[in-house]
């Protein structure tokens, strides 16, 4: 049976509720397990009076107390979270359930570069932004609140979304400490490390991350969760500490494809503070993304395989076998694999001479200065202030260990000049004649590849991607399969990802010393 869209599902629940209450049975059931629960599970539990948002938040507060000191996935918990939860519980009692969104009464972490106008700080992990006051909620946070979500706190990240230096470790920030992978206690990847860690370790239901090049797809893969990197402009970047408005995008990180699709429903669409969302709103499907959660979603999909994207160095032996199994599953689900494809200028795009750095360094300086200037108050007002702050607070910001080379290189740029214009033209050409031509020529619905290398191709074109858990290596490190497509391909990527997930159910929760 194809999955129902959410409103139909809720109306089925209502029927069930009517039957239950006609027997006068509405007692609280402690048997319900919150761990690994999906949005549907939680909404069902709410309506069966097995669970309240208050209990849900209390559960996660306890999880954060137990596991965050080890994992460092969260920088701040919202002191207002329990208030928002009891508000949601009241609203649920008063309203007809059909009117509530799948996110109503659900706690969400947002990456610490996403602004919230409340008691939480928005700092991109750096002490330089501690005490800054944002003018308003980020566009995506406004939409989350409108959907009734509880803003539970700020997830940790690679500081400044990995754009301070070449040496800074993935998942480290001065304010958040070193984030850890809950499966291995090692590398969580980044830069949306805490968003992936917190969801993987059941410290929250769902979270938001951001990606400029790989920052949602990579941590999702390594922490065994589902990440959606939307088409650039599908979700608002207003109020997000930026790197490049040409490449930045905000997307969900969740435990299941369905949860990620419902979160995308909540955050996608126009925002008057980010004009790119007006143009990209043509990609938002009528009726939402829930309708694409089809168990047979792989059927008839043309999926391209570019073998060069499967380069794991010395770990090749295990992964080549593992991905052959993935391909078999895709075929089993009815997908048509188009194998042995090549992307024009592959090594230029994945290498250092594509022009991406030239463009992004200049774009970063421009957009970070705009972000800092529009703050109501802030210890720093420009990139040059940030550099100075790090020098003055070198111990706190580990300047000796990690440096700030990217900040310095960006500060040395002088706007979009000749070199930058040439780089931008080169990038556009590489994207058009590379990934885009490959997709169109072969009539592909998606390219399947590990998140790590495919992210460059998606980044420079503003294209979307989805990562789904695909298994664990012999050391217990998770890996995922990514699906990338052209602008606005989210519906078919969600169909493919959901179909694959349905056949594999590959995610296991981390043991964290409990078993
Ligand atoms: C508790 O949950 C288990 C597994 O879902 C189920 O088999 C069992 O019947 C439940 N017990 C009660 C008392 O509801
Ligand atoms: C935000 O930062 C200030 C320090 O500037 C701190 O006092 C406050 O507790 C922080 N907010 C939260 C929610 O942690
Ligand atoms: C968006 O576009 C409108 C109309 O072109 C313009 O007036 C406005 O300043 C733009 N807003 C932003 C945030 O760039
Ligand atoms: C792909 O290339 C390999 C090695 O060159 C070959 O063995 C295989 O048959 C090719 N597969 C397809 C579907 O063309």
Max mean pLDDT range (2-11, 16-25, 227-236, 303-312): 227-236
Q: Are 329 and 303 in contact (CB under 8 A)?
A: no
Catalytic site residue 111? yes
pLDDT the model gives residue 311: 83
Q: Which residues line ligand 2 (CB under 6 A)?
A: 76, 79, 119-121, 130-131
Least confident of 14-28, 136-150, 350-364, 428-442: 14-28
Binding pocket residue ranges, ligand 4, CB within 6 Å: 339-340
- 228 alpha carbon to ligand 4 midpoint, in Å? 31
| Structural domain containing residue 179 | 5-504
Residue 515 lies in a domain: no
For residue 273, the CA-to-ligand 3 centroid distance in Å is 8
Residue with CA closest to ligand 4 atom 2: 340
Distance 443 CA to ligand 2 centre (A): 51
pLDDT given for residue 19 in this prediction? 36
* Extended beta strands in 327-445, E state: 336-338
At 513 the pLDDT is 64
The answer to whether residue 509 sits within a structural domain is no
How many folded domains does the chain comprise?
A: 1
Calculate mean pLDDT across residues 48-70.
96
Instruction: Check whether 22 has a pLDDT greater than 60.
Output: no
Arithmetic mean of pLDDT, 387-411:
98
Which residue CA neighbors atom 14 of ligand 2 most closely?
Answer: 76
Neighbours of 178 (CB within 10 A): 15
Q: What is the pLDDT of residue 352?
A: 86
Please report the atom of ligand 4 found closest to the CA of residue 339.
13
> 254 in a domain, yes or no?
yes
Query: What is the reported pLDDT for 274?
Result: 98
Q: Which CATH number covers residue 307?
A: 3.90.1300.10
pLDDT over 60 (residue 515) = no
Q: Which residue has the higher pLDDT, 454 or 514?
A: 454
272 alpha carbon, closest ligand: 3
Count Cβ atoms below 10 Å from residue 41 Cβ, excluding itself.
18
In the residue annotation, 215 being an active-site residue is answered as yes
- pLDDT of 87-122, one tens digit each? 999 999 998 867 799 999 999 999 999 999 999 999
pLDDT at 132 over 70: yes
Contact call for residues 465 and 502 (beta carbons, < 8 A): no
Nearest one of 49, 32, 30 to 41, comparing CA atoms: 32
Q: What is the pLDDT of residue 277?
A: 98
pLDDT tens string 204-228: 999 999 999 999 999 999 999 999 9
Distance from the CA of 275 to the center of ligand 3, in angstroms? 6
- Position 384 in a domain: yes
Average pLDDT over residues 166-177: 97
Judge whether 514 lies within some domain: no
In a domain, 221, yes or no: yes
pLDDT value of residue 184:
97
Q: Which of 273, 275, 370 to mutate to test the pocket of ligand 3 (most atoms within 8 A of CB)?
A: 275
Q: Which ligand has an atom closest to residue 274 CA?
A: 3
Please report the pLDDT score of residue 18 as a whole number: 36
| Overall average pLDDT of the 289-317 stretch | 92
**200, 224 contact by CB (below 8 A):** yes
Instruction: Measure the CA–CA gap between 502 and 292, rounded to whole angstroms.
Output: 13
Starting from the CA of residue 154, give the closest ligand. Answer: 2
Whole-model pTM: value is 0.92
């Amino acid at each position: 049976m194809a999955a129902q869209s959410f409103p139909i599902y809720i109306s089925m629940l209502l029927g069930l509720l009517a039957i239950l209450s006609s027997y006068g049975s509405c007692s609280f059931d402690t048997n319900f397990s919150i761990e690994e629960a999906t949005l549907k599970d939680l909404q069902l539990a709410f309506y069966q009076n097995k669970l309240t948002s208050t209990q849900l938040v209390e559960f996660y507060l306890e999880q954060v107390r137990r596991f965050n000191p080890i994992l460092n996935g969260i920088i701040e918990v919202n002191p207002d979270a329990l208030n928002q939860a009891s508000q949601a519980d009241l609203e649920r009692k008063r309203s007809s359930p059909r009117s509530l969104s799948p996110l109503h009464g659900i706690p969400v972490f947002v990456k610490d570069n996403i602004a919230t106008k409340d008691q939480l700080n928005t700092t991109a992990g750096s002490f330089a932004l501690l005490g800054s006051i944002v003018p308003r909620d980020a566009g995506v946070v406004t939409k989350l609140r409108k959907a009734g979500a509880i803003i539970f706190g700020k997830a940790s990240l690679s500081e400044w979304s990995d754009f301070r230096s070449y040496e800074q470790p993935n998942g480290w920030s001065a304010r958040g400490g070193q984030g850890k992978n809950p499966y291995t206690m090692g590398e969580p990847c980044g830069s949306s490390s805490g968003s992936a860690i917190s969801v993987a370790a059941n410290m929250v239901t769902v979270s938001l991350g951001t990606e400029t090049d790989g920052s949602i797809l990579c941590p999702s893969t390594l922490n065994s969760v589902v990440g959606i990197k939307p088409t650039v402009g599908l979700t608002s970047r207003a109020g997000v500490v930026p790197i490049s408005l040409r490449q930045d995008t905000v997307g969900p990180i969740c435990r299941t494809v369905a949860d990620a699709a419902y979160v995308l429903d909540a955050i996608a669409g126009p925002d008057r503070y980010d004009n790119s969302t007006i143009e990209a709103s043509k990609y938002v499907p009528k009726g939402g993304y829930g309708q694409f959660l089809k168990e047979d979603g792989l059927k008839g999909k043309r999926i391209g395989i570019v073998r060069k994207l499967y380069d794991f160095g010395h770990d090749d032996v295990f992964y080549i076998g593992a991905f052959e199994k993935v391909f078999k599953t895709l075929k089993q689900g009815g997908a048509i694999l188009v194998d042995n494809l090549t992307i024009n200028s592959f090594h230029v795009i994945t290498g250092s001479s594509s022009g991406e750095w030239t463009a992004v360094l200049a774009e970063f300086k421009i957009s970070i200065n705009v972000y800092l200037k529009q703050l109501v108050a802030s210890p720093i007002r420009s990139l040059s202030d940030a550099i100075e702050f790090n020098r003055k607070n070198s111990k706190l910001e580990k300047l000796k260990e990690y440096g700030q080379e990217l900040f310095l290189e960006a500060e040395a740029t002088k706007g979009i000049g000749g070199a930058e214009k040439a780089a931008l033209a080169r990038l556009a050409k590489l994207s058009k004649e590379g990934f885009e031509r490959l997709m169109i020529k072969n009539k592909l619905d998606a390219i399947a590849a590990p998140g790590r290398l495919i992210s460059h191709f998606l980044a420079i074109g503003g294209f979307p991607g989805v990562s789904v858990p695909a298994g664990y290596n012999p050391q217990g490190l998770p890996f995922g399969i990514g699906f990338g497509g052209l602008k606005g391909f989210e519906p078919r990527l969600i169909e493919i990802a959901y179909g694959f997930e349905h056949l594999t159910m590959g995610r296991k929760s981390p043991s964290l010393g409990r078993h």
